[in-house]
Amino acid sequence: MPGPRHLALLLAATMGTSAACACSAPEYRQFDFWLGDWDAYEYADRGTPIARTRVELIAAGCAIHELYEQTDGLIGDSILSFDPVRRAWQQTWVTNRGSLLSISGHLVDGAMSLEGEMHAADGRTLRQLITWTREGDAVRESSMVSKNGGQTWEPAFDVLFEKHR
């Protein structure tokens, strides 16, 4: 039985795309502004960091990995990728507290906005809209949440990422 590497090479050969340039379209670089090693702060209170976040390219530049480690013990891991068929970005986020988030969306006027469902460990499903924007050398991530399927929205969090010191 062929291994994962063999299957990936076979798939690339079958599709007529080399592994080295498969994700070279400009859309794959739209989220690169968030790459880096960051300290995260509540947007309204930038005194003490609430988390450390590392965001890096993986899979030969075809995806982004985020590792978010909050000071209260919350750990979140996500994979972000551009889907060339739907022409949209998607993120799958999981936490060490049993939550799962699956969102997708687009870069519009310099802001990356992704929306979808968050499944909480207690069984609840919530709609979540998350937007990332550049603010100078920093990145702001803000979120709105809906508990009624998108009929009404309320703020969930607002975080500023500054380069780790």
Q: What are the structural domains of the chain?
A: 25-163 (2.40.128.20)
Q: What is the pTM of this model?
A: 0.86
- Residue 57 pLDDT greater than 60, yes or no: yes
Which pLDDT score, from 0 to 100, does residue 115 have?
Answer: 98
Mean pLDDT of the chain: 90
Mean pLDDT of 101-116: 97
Q: What is the pLDDT of residues 8-48, one digit of tens each?
A: 444 444 444 445 578 989 999 999 999 999 999 999 988 99
Residue 83 to residue 60: CA distance in whole angstroms? 15
Contacts of 75 (CB under 8 A, 6+ apart): 67, 68, 69, 95, 96
Residue 157 to residue 86: CA distance in whole angstroms? 28
Residue 59's CB is within 10 A of a number of other CB atoms, namely: 14
